[in-house]
């Protein structure tokens, strides 16, 4: 029996989710469909390190959505290429006639300590996470700007996927942390640039049990089926916030970063000016050092980097 939408908060909207064949992306796609959205399910079907490719994961999610009475189509293009990103937008428009929400989620890991991190591993992770956010956002934004300039009302939403590693750093993940930090910067710029066209852009820093985090959460077992217990690390726990951010109900919320884990939602507050000193003239190195040490005494201590002792 098809699952009924719980509220229909996304009824009539067309939503694109990248990396939606498994894990968080799959959970987002199913959740959007359950709320009445028509979904474009993008996934290359690559391995955890980005190797290989298969259209099977995206197709399976499309079948799940259709079996529950929803509408979905698969897209197997590489969204870290201009051609793949353009075709992603084209599939949404060609299949459903519009595009309302873009959820950038695709990614993989190639973890190494910095001294062991190859240039290829750096480039590959930067490409899929950072370029894989930029290109779909660019082409979706161009469509929405054209719609706005043509006098049509736009209530578009973008949800980017950062990480705690991008906010605090994570030992052994220099490439991933840098890419996820870059996504926050991209989110802030896009929110500022696109607001005039009716586009809101936010980011999440999720924590859940997926292929990418199975070692991190190895000790956090899933709740037994039928037990009724809350599975704190289930990917679906993150999706309700993503669905709301991707809906018209989130009007007025843009340029924000949210951490989402289990039953907790946190608004993350980024860099803000802290203690300051102004000499009114150039410092000597010794004076600058003395001033910096005094300022640090009254500054808040940063949170620790993940994995640091």
Catalytic residue numbers, as ranges: 163, 176, 180
With 0-12 CB in 10 A as exposed, 13-18 as middle and 19+ as buried, what is 114? exposed
> Cα–Cα distance between 36 and 14 in angstroms, integer?
9
Instruction: Report helix angle 132-149 to 174-194, nearest 10.
Output: 10
Single out the residue of 134, 138, 109, 105 nearest to residue 124, CA to CA.
Answer: 109
Could you tell me if 40 and 16 are in contact, meaning their C-beta atoms sit under 8 angstroms apart? yes
> Cα–Cα distance between 78 and 132 in angstroms, integer?
8
Q: Compute the 3-state secondary structure of the chain and give helix, strand, coil in percent, each to the nearest 5.
A: 45, 15, 45
Question: Locate tokens 């916030």: which residue?
Answer: 241
Could you tell me if 222 and 216 are in contact, meaning their C-beta atoms sit under 8 angstroms apart? no
Spatial neighbors of 81 by CB under 8 A, at least 6 apart, are 135
β-pair partners for 14 = 38
Instruction: Report helix angle 56-67 to 23-34, nearest 10.
Output: 30
């Amino acid at each position: 029996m098809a699952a009924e939408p719980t509220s229909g908060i996304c009824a009539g909207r067309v939503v694109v989710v990248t990396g939606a064949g498994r894990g968080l992306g799959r959970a987002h796609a199913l959740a959007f469909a359950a709320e009445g959205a028509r979904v474009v399910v993008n996934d290359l079907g690559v391995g955890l390190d980005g190797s290989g490719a298969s259209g099977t994961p995206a197709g399976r999610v499309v079948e799940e959505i259709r079996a529950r009475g929803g509408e979905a189509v698969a897209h197997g293009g590489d969204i870290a290429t201009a051609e793949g990103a353009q075709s992603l937008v084209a599939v949404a428009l060609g299949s459903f006639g519009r595009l309302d929400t873009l959820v950038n989620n695709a990614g993989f890991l190639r973890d190494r300590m910095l001294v062991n991190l190859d240039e290829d591993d750096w480039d590959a992770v930067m490409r899929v996470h950072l370029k894989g956010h930029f290109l779909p956002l660019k082409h979706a934004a161009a469509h929405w700007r054209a719609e706005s300039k043509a006098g049509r009302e736009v209530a578009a939403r973008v949800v980017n996927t950062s990480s705690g590693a991008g906010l605090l750093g994570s030992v052994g993940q220099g490439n991933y942390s840098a890419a996820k930090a870059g996504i926050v910067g991209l989110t802030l710029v896009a929110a500022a640039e696109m607001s005039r066209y009716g586009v809101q852009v936010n980011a999440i820093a999720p924590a859940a049990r997926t292929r990418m985090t199975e070692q991190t959460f190895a000790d956090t077992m899933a709740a037994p089926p039928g037990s009724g217990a809350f599975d704190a690390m289930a990917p679906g726990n993150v999706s309700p916030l993503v669905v709301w951010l991707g809906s018209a109900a989130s009007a007025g919320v843009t340029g924000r970063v949210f951490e989402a884990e289990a039953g907790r939602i946190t608004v993350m507050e980024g860099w803000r000016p802290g203690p300051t000193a102004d000499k009114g003239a150039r410092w000597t190195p010794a004076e600058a050092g003395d001033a910096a040490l005094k300022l640090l005494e009254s500054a808040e201590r940063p949170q620790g980097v993940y994995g640091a002792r």
